[in-house]
Amino acid sequence: MKYLLLNHKMNLLGQDLSKYIENFPKGNNIVVFPTSIYIPYFLGKNILVGCQDVSSKDMGSVTSEVSANQLKSIGVEYVLIGHSERREAYQEEDKEVNDKIKRAINAGLKIVICIGEKNGEDKFEVINKQLETALENITSINNILIAYEPVSAIGSGTAITNEEINEVTEWIKNWFMEKYQETPTILYGGSVNDINIEELVNTKVEGFLVGGASLSIEKVNKMQEVITNN
Ligand code: PGA
């Protein structure tokens, strides 16, 4: 079954959580990435939980950051690293992404590395560089998932075509076969919703990273239903 990863970003208020959690679909293919202060509300409820980011530093005097070991210690299992909104708004570079991945690997977290080109950029050139730097000195991809998210598709309301998704998926698989002789789980993200998922589910990706549509628990249930039936 394909994965459904739900990236809440900085959305929802405290009072929105109980309805969302009560109606959250069960499944070992569905992972929620709430705003970090809400993570504890989702834990201990048979729900797979991830964090939207992790510190590149070890535990200690680093005000406002959250370390990979701290996340692991409370039962968080997944982490998003290198989301385009962080790359854009916080100038997060591939080197920092690499440091974060190493911390997360050492803590035993499952890592979703977000990659993707901006409008007008050569996609294969960009994702080649993003992958090369992000995975520098990383020998095992056991706990690594790749989310391909073309920046112009994120939040736009329109996903890219199935053909485009398949082309990039094949390219990423080949990249990993050459370097690691195996392929990671590859996901697509960028305006996936409860309607277009019926088409997108026919692509070669093994799941979806969903932003906007993940905020409605009704849409989440619909998306999970589509994935379960395919
Ligand atoms: P979107 O966000 O589904 O709202 O396009 C996806 C993402 O940023 O991960």
Cβ atoms of 36 and 52 within 8 Å: the answer is: yes
User: What is the residue with the minimal CA distance to atom 2 of ligand 1?
Assistant: 211
Q: Which residues are catalytic?
A: 83, 149
Best of 4, 114, 154, 208 to mutate for ligand 1, by most ligand atoms within 8 A of CB? 154
Expressed in angstroms and rounded, the spacing between residue 170 Cα and the centre of ligand 1 is 22
Please say whether the dihedral angle defined by the alpha carbons of residues 121, 155, 7 and 196, taken in this order, is positive or negative: negative
Expressed in angstroms and rounded, the spacing between residue 79 Cα and the centre of ligand 1 is 15
Expressed in angstroms and rounded, the spacing between residue 10 Cα and the centre of ligand 1 is 12
pLDDT averaged over every residue in the chain = 96
Best of 4, 192, 193, 200 to mutate for ligand 1, by most ligand atoms within 8 A of CB? 192
Cα–Cα distance measured from residue 223 to residue 153, given in angstroms and rounded to the nearest whole number: 19
Kindly state the average pLDDT of the residues 195-208.
Answer: 98
User: What is the residue with the minimal CA distance to atom 3 of ligand 1?
Assistant: 211
User: What is the residue with the minimal CA distance to atom 6 of ligand 1?
Assistant: 211
The 8-class DSSP code of residue 108 comes to T
Per-residue pLDDT of 27-81, as tens digits, reads 999 999 999 999 999 999 999 999 999 999 999 999 999 999 999 999 999 999 9
Q: Give residue 92's pLDDT band: very low, low, confident or very high (50, 70, 90).
A: confident
Look-up of token digits 């070669």 = 204
Write down the pLDDT at residue 91. Answer: 83
Expressed in angstroms and rounded, the spacing between residue 150 Cα and the centre of ligand 1 is 10
User: What is the residue with the minimal CA distance to atom 1 of ligand 1?
Assistant: 211
Angle separating helix axes 162-180 and 123-134, nearest 10 degrees: 40
Residues in contact with ligand 1 by the CB-under-6-Å rule are 7, 149, 154-155, 189-192, 209-212
pTM for this prediction: 0.97
Write down the pLDDT at residue 218. Answer: 98
Look-up of token digits 């849409």 = 219
Q: Give residue 7's pLDDT band: very low, low, confident or very high (50, 70, 90).
A: very high
Write down the pLDDT at residue 93. Answer: 84
